[in-house]
């Protein structure tokens, strides 16, 4: 694994850990966003748990490449869902940019790990 791969993997793990915790515990921002996106609050919790699992798999992936690949794939698919959600409600590019960048980084990591 290269240093660049490790940096991307660490950054993604940290970002998705923070996002997953926020969704799972129900931060006000995430509650408001899921209401705005017309998605049920239980789906916010499920999304947060998926992000936490993906982030943990990325962390385990530092020692076990299969876990890193699985985590990157899981988070990449989750990012696609997030992008589609933003597009569905016609969110601004400002509101959509973060998940687009995370999605690109996640699929970049996936290809670097393969």
What is the distance between the alpha carbons of residues 59 and 63, in angstroms, rounded to a whole number? 8
> pLDDT-derived band of residue 50, with 50, 70 and 90 as boundaries?
very high
pLDDT of res. 27: 97
The residue range of the domain holding 89 is: 3-113
**Total domains, the chain:** 1
How far apart are alpha carbons 72 and 75 in whole angstroms?
5
pLDDT digits (tens, 9 = 90+) for 59-80: 999 999 999 999 999 999 999 9
Q: How many Cβ atoms are within 10 Å of 24's Cβ, its own excluded?
A: 18
Residues 84 and 10: their CA atoms lie apart, in Å, by 25
- Is the pLDDT at 36 greater than 90? The verdict is yes
Percent with pLDDT over 90 in the chain: 99
Q: Are the beta carbons of 34 and 41 closer than 8 angstroms?
A: yes
pLDDT band at 42 (very low <50, low <70, confident <90, very high): very high
Average pLDDT over residues 37-59: 98
What pLDDT sits at residue 1?
79
pLDDT interval class at 28 (50, 70, 90): very high
């Amino acid at each position: 694994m290269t240093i660049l791969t490790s940096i991307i993997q660490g950054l993604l793990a940290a970002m998705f850990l923070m996002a997953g915790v926020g969704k799972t515990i129900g931060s006000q921002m995430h509650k408001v966003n899921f209401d705005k996106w017309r998605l049920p609050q239980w789906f916010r919790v499920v999304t947060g748990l998926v992000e936490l699992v993906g982030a943990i798999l990325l962390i385990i992936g530092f020692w076990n490449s299969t876990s890193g690949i699985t985590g990157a794939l899981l988070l990449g698919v989750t990012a696609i869902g997030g992008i589609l959600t933003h597009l569905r409600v016609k969110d601004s590019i400002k509101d959509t940019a973060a998940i687009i960048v995370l999605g690109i980084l996640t699929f970049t990591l996936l290809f670097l790990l393969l």
